[in-house]
Chains A and B, each alone.
Chain A
């Protein structure tokens, strides 16, 4: 089943075009990886889909469950089942992580969430990511270390249960142990065969233990290569040089 179909997506930031016509189709149960060197436009892709106002879509379409995503306000995109983990999660004082997630769930579902069930699930989720349950009542991302912020994003992913999750550099700045913990959380998400995943990354650490269906290599705003998990091995070995050359010549 097709979850996302992106056609000829053009995106500009501050009047400079970053994505020059990107095409991508994601089906339920699939995990896609979007790789590429720094500045290729990987995060631009995620932010444009999520609707970050700093990113202007100038052309193209993104059908999400058959509906045009690009016409929806940000919160509607989330309510339709889209999720993006932030590369730099924002600190919001005065709102606890658990109240934030509960408010989000209630606004998505349009009904009250039962506190008892919610707390139980929250506790289990925190434990699975090796986070102290005290994090539930701490202010959202305030005073969290880089690793804790990334884990808190995965907590949100697992609690909100989107149908399509975009993980934007979730592994950057994490130590080996934290990468392993986060990977386990992502694996947990992959168990839902009705959902799909797009992992944006420029290194391959997080991918070693995850099932990957399709890899897209993005260079200077265009996808220059697509393939299976074996592409990851090639990039691991040779880096992006070959793709950058091809992009320059093509």
Chain B
């Protein structure tokens, strides 16, 4: 790339213009202040309880240490945090400022120009808004509420949101959960009433493209008893943000005998610190199915967690992580078995290439009440070359004798025999390697709707060509 700008600098320039309504001039050294958080709250027209929640979270944020157990996040300049959250910060750059690698990716993915600009955060929202409204109307007929979280706070389910918002992921969870609690902005709210089965997958893709979204967004999904929902978040195109911190939060509540499938493909731009927290609580006989593809970002901490709270609750986690040059992706999942007869399956693949580091971190906790529970964890890693790295860090905490726990980890390389075999049928070496890697990630792609699976395969192909990053 000819010239890589540091985009935080671009934002830095404008921060000196910042004044809050009280007329206090903002001082850089103070970091995030209650005044700033209050202003965010006012801008968003928060109910009082939410304003108080934000302020309490800010207090926790300021008193909590940075995590010190994972990949380094030293490159994240916490003193600039205020520039990330400032309500009037111009989040959009101009098209010229969008890095060449991202433009190149749009080109290769065949995304139209209008959509490219929107994804890059520099253009107007495109026609997806219309699609979103149509989908919204269609599911509303079934009594499903599908809207942005801000307006839902003033809607008919306001009390429900208050009872659930950041109850699964409390601000005390870790520093970035606290930050999220203080400055969250944007995101989705979905409520599926008892017995309703939503036939079409709901896709936040249509909503994520608004400027500044996808940074501290909060997703809150409540699937009531005997209901079914498939929710898809993210998209395969790298989302470009001038600020390089993503601290989103996803909370999923799965009712008695309900099923929620939550699929996500994340492909953050490669300057991004992706410190995301996702958690599900599953009641008796309910099931949560996570399908997760992690691409992009400079550093990721991502461990979706399932709390199996009712008898017979189930969790399935299927994930793939692809770490290329300059990337350190620490991903995995956590399952807490809190009730008898609960089941969890974890099946992950991680790929590392060109010096990328991919770490699988998992925790399975089986409490004393979780008799006759079952857990099977399987993680496989593939290293494409000798300079890449792959680690597996599984943890288990089993508090009952009556549980069936399995763990399997495999780390391998692309076998020369397999490449030779495919080539001997006329397939080029590059294509052979791409086929083997896509095949390795098939556990995830086969769980995705076709168009997402195709996009994911395209992504893998591009990564294998070294076209990005």
Interface flag for A39 (CB, 8 Å): no
| Known interface pairs A79-B426, A107-B426, A107-B427; A94-B418 also in contact (CB < 8 Å) | no
Q: In the complex, what's the smallest C-beta–C-beta distance from B413 to chain A, in angstroms?
A: 14
What's the Cα separation between A82 and B374 when bound, in Å?
A: 51
| Known interface pairs A90-B417, A92-B436, A95-B435; A74-B442 also in contact (CB < 8 Å) | no
Q: Are A90 and B440 in contact (CB under 8 A)?
A: no
What's the Cα separation between A127 and B79 when bound, in Å?
A: 69
Interface flag for A158 (CB, 8 Å): no
Interface flag for A135 (CB, 8 Å): no
Q: Are B421 and A104 in contact (CB under 8 A)?
A: no
Interface flag for B415 (CB, 8 Å): yes
Q: Are B426 and A90 in contact (CB under 8 A)?
A: no
Interface flag for A108 (CB, 8 Å): yes
Interface flag for B416 (CB, 8 Å): yes
What's the Cα separation between A94 and B446 when bound, in Å?
A: 9
What's the Cα separation between A105 and B425 when bound, in Å?
A: 8
CB-defined contacts of A160 to chain B, threshold 8 Å: 425-426
> Contacting B438 at CB < 8 Å: which of A77, A94, A107, A156?
A94
CB-defined contacts of B95 to chain A, threshold 8 Å: none
CB-defined contacts of A156 to chain B, threshold 8 Å: 425
CB-contacts of B404-457 with A (<8 A) = 415-418, 420-429, 431-432, 435-436, 438-443
A84: nearest residue on chain B (CB-CB)?
A: B424
CB-defined contacts of B424 to chain A, threshold 8 Å: 50-51, 74-75, 77-78, 83-84, 86
Interface flag for A89 (CB, 8 Å): yes
CB-defined contacts of B441 to chain A, threshold 8 Å: 94
What's the Cα separation between A84 and B421 when bound, in Å?
A: 9
What's the Cα separation between A247 and B386 when bound, in Å?
A: 45
Interface size class of A (residues with CB under 8 A): 20 to 34
Q: Are B425 and A104 in contact (CB under 8 A)?
A: yes
A141: nearest residue on chain B (CB-CB)?
A: B421
Q: 1/0 per position for A156-192, CB-CB distance to B under 8 A?
A: 1000100000000000000000000000000000000
Q: In the complex, what's the smallest C-beta–C-beta distance from A43 to chain B, in angstroms?
A: 13
A93: nearest residue on chain B (CB-CB)?
A: B439
A86: nearest residue on chain B (CB-CB)?
A: B421
| Known interface pairs A95-B435, A139-B439; A90-B418 also in contact (CB < 8 Å) | yes
B445: nearest residue on chain A (CB-CB)?
A: A94
What's the Cα separation between A188 and B240 when bound, in Å?
A: 57
Q: In the complex, what's the smallest C-beta–C-beta distance from B205 to chain A, in angstroms?
A: 25
What's the Cα separation between A51 and B429 when bound, in Å?
A: 13
Q: In the complex, what's the smallest C-beta–C-beta distance from B381 to chain A, in angstroms?
A: 14
| Known interface pairs A52-B420, A107-B431; A92-B439 also in contact (CB < 8 Å) | yes
Q: Are A93 and B431 in contact (CB under 8 A)?
A: no
Interface flag for A227 (CB, 8 Å): no
> Contacting B428 at CB < 8 Å: which of A53, A75, A89?
A75
B380: nearest residue on chain A (CB-CB)?
A: A93
A54: nearest residue on chain B (CB-CB)?
A: B416
Q: Are A53 and B420 in contact (CB under 8 A)?
A: yes
CB-defined contacts of A54 to chain B, threshold 8 Å: 416
Q: State the total of A-B contacts with C-beta under 8 angstroms.
A: 80
B436: nearest residue on chain A (CB-CB)?
A: A92
Q: In the complex, what's the smallest C-beta–C-beta distance from B463 to chain A, in angstroms?
A: 16
Q: Are B429 and A95 in contact (CB under 8 A)?
A: no
CB-defined contacts of A90 to chain B, threshold 8 Å: 415, 417-418, 421
CB-defined contacts of B422 to chain A, threshold 8 Å: 92, 100, 104
Q: In the complex, what's the smallest C-beta–C-beta distance from B34 to chain A, in angstroms?
A: 52
B437: nearest residue on chain A (CB-CB)?
A: A94
CB-defined contacts of B439 to chain A, threshold 8 Å: 92-95, 139
CB-defined contacts of A38 to chain B, threshold 8 Å: none
Interface flag for A58 (CB, 8 Å): no
Interface flag for A103 (CB, 8 Å): yes
Q: In the complex, what's the smallest C-beta–C-beta distance from B120 to chain A, in angstroms?
A: 32
What's the Cα separation between A52 and B438 when bound, in Å?
A: 23
Q: In the complex, what's the smallest C-beta–C-beta distance from B457 to chain A, in angstroms?
A: 10
CB-defined contacts of A94 to chain B, threshold 8 Å: 436, 438-443
Interface flag for A73 (CB, 8 Å): yes
What's the Cα separation between A139 and B431 when bound, in Å?
A: 17
| Known interface pairs A89-B421, A90-B417; A75-B436 also in contact (CB < 8 Å) | no
Q: In the complex, what's the smallest C-beta–C-beta distance from B19 to chain A, in angstroms?
A: 56
Q: 1/0 per position for A50-71, CB-CB distance to B under 8 A?
A: 1111100000000000000000
Q: Are A78 and B417 in contact (CB under 8 A)?
A: no
Q: Are A93 and B442 in contact (CB under 8 A)?
A: yes
What's the Cα separation between A73 and B421 when bound, in Å?
A: 13
CB-defined contacts of B426 to chain A, threshold 8 Å: 75, 78-79, 104-105, 107-108, 160
What's the Cα separation between A100 and B443 when bound, in Å?
A: 18
What's the Cα separation between A63 and B425 when bound, in Å?
A: 19
CB-defined contacts of B440 to chain A, threshold 8 Å: 93-94
Q: 1/0 per position for A88-113, CB-CB distance to B under 8 A?
A: 01101111000011011101100000
What's the Cα separation between A79 and B429 when bound, in Å?
A: 13
What's the Cα separation between A160 and B424 when bound, in Å?
A: 11
CB-defined contacts of B432 to chain A, threshold 8 Å: 75
Q: 1/0 per position for A17-59, CB-CB distance to B under 8 A?
A: 0000000000000000000000000000000001111100000
Q: Are B429 and A75 in contact (CB under 8 A)?
A: yes
What's the Cα separation between A104 and B431 when bound, in Å?
A: 10
What's the Cα separation between A79 and B425 when bound, in Å?
A: 8
What's the Cα separation between A54 and B419 when bound, in Å?
A: 12
| Known interface pairs A50-B424, A78-B426, A104-B426; A92-B418 also in contact (CB < 8 Å) | yes
| Known interface pairs A93-B439, A94-B438; A107-B421 also in contact (CB < 8 Å) | no
What's the Cα separation between A90 and B427 when bound, in Å?
A: 15
Q: In the complex, what's the smallest C-beta–C-beta distance from B165 to chain A, in angstroms?
A: 40
CB-defined contacts of A86 to chain B, threshold 8 Å: 421, 424
B423, B424, B436, B439: residue with the most chain A Cβ atoms closer than 10 Å: B424
What's the Cα separation between A104 and B417 when bound, in Å?
A: 17
What's the Cα separation between A92 and B419 when bound, in Å?
A: 10
Q: Are A53 and B421 in contact (CB under 8 A)?
A: no
Residues in chain A within 8 A of chain B (CB atoms): 50-54, 73-75, 77-79, 83-84, 86, 89-90, 92-95, 100-101, 103-105, 107-108, 139, 156, 160
Q: Mind listing 6 A-B residue pairs with CB under 8 Å?
A: A50-B424, A75-B427, A77-B424, A94-B441, A103-B427, A107-B428
In the A-B complex, list the 9 residue pairs whose CB atoms are closest, starting with the nearest: A94-B439, A94-B442, A78-B426, A104-B425, A74-B423, A90-B421, A108-B426, A95-B439, A75-B423
